Amino acid sequence: MKTPDWVQELRNSIPQWLDKVAVPKQPGRFYPCLNGRTKVGNEAALGFSCFALRIYCIIGIWERLEGDQNSKWIDFIQSFQQGKLPNKGAFVDPPILKHCDPWRARIIRILLRRGHPGFTHQESVRIAETKQAIATLAQVGVQAPLPFKGFPLTAEEIHHYLRAKLKWSRPWAAGGQAAAHAVFVSNEAPKFLSHADSEELKQEMRSFFNQILDPETGGWYIHRRPDHGQLINGAMKVLNALEWLDAEPTHPERLIDSCLDYVPPPYGCHLVNTVYVLYQCCKYTKHRRQEILGYCIKILEMIHQHYQLDGAFSYFLDHNQTHYYGAKIATSMWQSDIHGTYLLTFAIAMIGNLLEWGNFGWEFIRT
């Protein structure tokens, strides 16, 4: 199948847009969008740098950067790793950590019981940002300067963390934290634990996911079956964890059935997470393959609607992403943003590989 013309044009328009949101004379630093940024949006940098690097890897231009841009970019990301306690080894972006938990959002989270019982929202953000930085560096074959040890280091501790500290009635958030720990167990533990101890942690995580697997939907949760969005977005996070743990999904056919039952809402995360679930499941089964391909074409049409005249994608259909981990980074405007552009570029890469577009060349990356 031929690559659509509008996708071909992205090879030029997305790098040109990234050049516009790149901060002058600061290699690796990017703004979240062109216009309407808040003070936090101007100051924050770690997550946006990771998003941009991943885009460069997906569309195949990371290796073509000139001079020492690659090494300076890597140095910039590594500069966010903390060298002293209590955050030693963690990657912290101070503006995001400071503003990620405004009081209104905290009250809503308490009233609706959306938080995890074992840690605060700030702690969850620190874990997520650290995971993202470590995974991004690993994508280009680089390790963090310091080992990160801020996770359970025995099988008993990792089981307790997964079972008691994560709220698996909301598998999207729980799966995200679990995926972060899969990265730590896979990438960081071997730096200071024996091979046997590292493998024991990985096996304990695999065993836990098998315990909470629902064979009817193919998803992972505890207690009542969650709504479709929670089920599929949560499954994406667990599949990401399983990839780092060198494990396969047990019921990919059921998970495919669950995906195809609904069309996701038109938001960046929902679109890419649905495609990710289908893409990963298709590695292990040909179940309903033609239906999957037709479904992906529909998703691609939805993604195209997010394309903006400035050359990239917005997270929402009619405006940019305004918050990052709860911190307000921009006002709502009709423009592209770096978060939406990364997510939808990644989704297009997976769709293009599933549809076997000729001369496409975009790459799947490990997130």
Task: Give the torsion through C-alpha atoms of 101, 104, 110, 114, to 10 deg.
Answer: -70
- Quickly tell me which residue has 């292990």 as its tokens: 284
DSSP character string of 22-82: BPTT-TT-B-SBSS-B-HHHHH--HHHHHHHHHHHHHTT-GGG--TTHHHHHHHHHHTTB-
Stretches in the chain below the pLDDT threshold 70:
102-119
Angle formed at CA 217 by CA 214 and CA 221, multiple of 5 degrees = 45
Cα separation, 120 vs 112, in Å, equals 15
Looking at residue 209, its pLDDT comes to 98
Smallest CA-to-CA distance from 202 within 152, 138, 236, 139 is with 152
Structure tokens given for 289? 């393959």
Domain boundaries, the chain: 1-148+261-367, 151-250
Q: What is the tens place of the pLDDT at every residue in 139-169? A: 999 999 999 999 999 999 999 999 999 999 9
Bond before 27 cis per omega within 30 degrees? no
Cα separation, 41 vs 341, in Å, equals 16
Q: What is the tens place of the pLDDT at every residue in 227-276? A: 999 999 999 999 999 999 999 999 999 999 999 999 999 999 999 999 99
Structure tokens given for 254? 């059921």
Cβ–Cβ < 8 Å for 192, 88 = no
Cβ–Cβ < 8 Å for 248, 242 = yes
DSSP character string of 175-212: HHHHHHHHHIIIIIGGGTS-HHHHHHHHHHHHHHHHHT
Which amino acid would we find at residue 6? W
Angle formed at CA 174 by CA 168 and CA 175, multiple of 5 degrees = 110
Looking at residue 106, its pLDDT comes to 55
The residues near 98 (Cβ < 8 Å, ≥ 6 apart) are: 327
Cα separation, 221 vs 229, in Å, equals 13
Cα separation, 90 vs 314, in Å, equals 29
Which amino acid would we find at residue 338? I
Structure tokens given for 250? 């047990």
Cα separation, 204 vs 282, in Å, equals 25
Looking at residue 103, its pLDDT comes to 41
Cα separation, 286 vs 273, in Å, equals 20
Looking at residue 85, its pLDDT comes to 87
Cβ–Cβ < 8 Å for 326, 102 = yes
Which amino acid would we find at residue 32? P
| DSSP SS3 for 213 | strand
Bond before 145 cis per omega within 30 degrees? no
Exposed (0-12), middle (13-18) or buried (19+): which is 231, by Cβ within 10 Å? Answer: buried
Is pTM beyond 0.85? Reply is yes
| DSSP SS3 for 118 | coil
